[in-house]
Amino acid sequence: MTNKFQNKYRIPSSRLKNWDYGNNGAYFITICTRNRDHFFGEIVSVAKENKMELNEIGRLAYQFWAEIPKHFPSVELGNYVVMPNHVHGILIIDKKNVVDDLVAETLQCNVSAHNGTTNEQMSKISPKSGTISTIIRSYKSAVTKNGHFIHADFEWQSRFHDHIIRNSESFERIQNYIETNPKNWKEDKFCN
């Protein structure tokens, strides 16, 4: 039997089963634009080296990523980069010194009301406070809201890719990948 919500089939989650995405840890995130359209700028060659030249929406995407720790105090940033059609970044959740993440989640309002009553079904499927899904949803929402003032057609893909980083060797390899992503743009699977 397939679970349905509002009489529609749901796409199975790509998240690791039995893992709490609010747990302390490092997460490699990739978020793509709809159809991988180049909304954020372009790769240009400067002194024989490829560099990302951000346009106005690209600068918003970069700025809002940099501001994630202001809105989610339990989050630290690893390397991140805004590419022509996607964003790569490492989010490090460390809740040991944070009293209450709920108060700080202000990047984009995450509160929804349903005629003053709690909708139990929505509660079950909605991302929980302080999780990777909540952070990314807020980030995407803030970029979309502001990006629409610049380009009305700006949209993200509905999903995002995450990878739980399990050791320091993997962390360093991913940090390096992010840092060198503009240089290696022609070999990037997102280049189109």
- Ordered by where they begin, the domains of the chain are 21-184 (3.30.70.1290)
The DSSP code sequence of 141-156 is HHHHHHHTTT-TT--B
Q: Measure the CA–CA gap between 69 and 97, rounded to whole angstroms.
A: 13
pLDDT confidence of residue 24: 83
Tell me how far apart the alpha carbons of residues 175 and 28 are, in angstroms, rounded to a whole number: 9
CA atoms of 1 and 168, how far apart (whole Å): 41
The string of pLDDT tens digits covering residues 8-31 is 545 444 444 564 545 788 999 999
| Residue 45: count of CB within 10 angstroms of its CB | 8
- Residue 189 confidence (pLDDT): 74
Cα–Cα distances in Å, from 192 out to 37, 178, 183? 9, 18, 15
Give residue-wise pLDDT tens across range 101-121.
444 444 444 434 444 445 555
pTM beyond 0.85: no
Torsions phi, psi for 59 (to 5 deg): -65, -35
CB 144 within 8 A of CB 5: no
